[in-house]
Amino acid sequence: MENHNTNSQGRNRDIFRSYSGHVLDEINVQVPLRVSFMGGGTDVDPFRSTHGSQIIATTIKQYVIVKVKSRSHGKLIRIKNHSKITDLIDIEREFDLRESLFLSPFMLFEKNELPNFEMTIESPVLPGSGLGASSAIEIGIVKALCVLTQSEVEPEELARMAYIAEREIAKIPGGFQDHVVCSLGGFKKYSLGSNLAINHARIEIDFEFREKLEESILLVHSGSNRENTNVLSDQIDRNISGENDVLLKKQIELTQEFEGALRKEETQKLGEVLDKSWSYKKQLGRHVSNAHVDLVYEKLCSAGAIGGKLLGAGGGGTLLLVIDAHKKAGILDLIDKLNLEHKSISFEEDGAKLF
């Protein structure tokens, strides 16, 4: 017979159970980051709800990790970056859970229904990098809380819950695609609509072309992270007024063009479509790009990048580049001279999951 410690009311406060009721020593959630190729901005309301959004994106093998261990008392969150604890939050002493990216998911649950725990959140990049880190963090927390409360949810519903926590409760402006892509995983085309409707289809890529595409993509940090609120507030104002409608509809048209190039395995065309998309994206708001980003992008294209764009809302963060593989050495040499960080990527098929 199982024997576990209980509080004075006889209720277990130091064990976890899985959806099926099995006792767990620890909860571990892995959420991949994402790279969005096409359709960025179309997932931000009111455009998404009025006209619909078209997105092509993939998850990559970089992960937000959320780990939860039982405690005899209290509820704590430890936030780690580069293996160092950067913040410690005592949930039971926080009066307003709406004020934080890390705390807003708890508003979706009855706090007194949660067992005592210690949650550790670790991300390989900071929010503002353009790789969907803030949304991946929300997804990881929500999924862990679902396990804690034995509330099993499908990936689509997990995405919606994370969106509500980040956008509606924490009031952090942005779109819907990051929550969907990171939750569902894979290289897919997404159609997002009103009432957080989600449709998706996997884009089948031949193994050899997949390897070629991974080899032809570079992520280059622009040298600064963005302040999402400042970048998006102007875009959202323009979306509300309808000023961005024409540009966003052009982005949807380019999504179809990009998908066609993928199916035809035309790397050159993919880079050219990204470059055209970036020229439209820069017109969505005053802070999407800046002189520094434009100069870096121009130099990288001169060295052999076919095309690219800033990931995320813009204003800083990570440049996605499709490059001529034969010129990769020269591009990497320039990146070193510019004292910028870069990464190659590997596509990830899975979305958020327990491990």
How many other C-beta atoms lie within 10 A of the C-beta of residue 330?
A: 14
Is 32 contained in some domain?
yes
CA distance 33 to 351: 9
Same domain? For 219 and 191 the reply is no
Same domain? For 153 and 266 the reply is no
pLDDT at 88: 83
Is 314 contained in some domain?
yes
Same domain? For 155 and 258 the reply is no
Same domain? For 97 and 176 the reply is yes
Contact residues for 318 (Cβ-Cβ < 8 A; gap 6+): 129, 130, 131, 219, 220, 221, 222, 310, 311, 312
- Parent domain of 33: 16-203+349-354
Same domain? For 281 and 212 the reply is yes
pLDDT at 10: 34
Is 2 contained in some domain?
no
Same domain? For 186 and 255 the reply is no
- Closest by alpha carbon to 175, among 190, 185, 153? 190
- Structure tokens, 148: 């804690």
Judge contact between 15 and 23, C-beta under 8 A: yes
Number of compact structural domains in the chain: 2
Is 10 contained in some domain?
no
Same domain? For 96 and 214 the reply is no
Same domain? For 169 and 218 the reply is no
pLDDT at 236: 86
- Structure tokens, 230: 């400042």
Tell me the CATH number at 316: 3.30.70.890
Same domain? For 61 and 185 the reply is yes
* 3-state SS, residue 199: strand
Same domain? For 156 and 213 the reply is no
- Structure tokens, 153: 């949810």
Judge contact between 158 and 139, C-beta under 8 A: yes
pLDDT at 108: 94
pLDDT at 21: 64
Is 6 contained in some domain?
no
Judge contact between 318 and 219, C-beta under 8 A: yes
Tens digit of pLDDT at every position of the chain (355 positions): 333 333 333 334 455 666 666 667 799 999 999 999 999 999 999 999 999 999 999 999 999 999 999 888 888 898 987 666 678 888 877 655 556 889 999 999 987 778 889 999 999 998 888 999 999 999 999 999 999 888 899 999 999 999 999 999 999 999 999 999 999 999 999 999 999 999 999 999 999 999 999 999 999 998 776 655 667 888 888 989 999 999 999 999 999 999 999 999 999 999 999 999 999 999 999 889 999 999 999 999 999 999 999 998 888 889 999 999 899 999 999 999 999 999 999 999 999 999 9
pLDDT at 42: 96
CA distance 27 to 14: 13
Is 241 contained in some domain?
yes
Same domain? For 199 and 211 the reply is no
CA distance 218 to 267: 13
Same domain? For 237 and 113 the reply is no
Is 91 contained in some domain?
yes
Is 128 contained in some domain?
yes
CA distance 50 to 204: 29
The model's pTM: 0.91
Tell me the CATH number at 113: 3.30.230.10
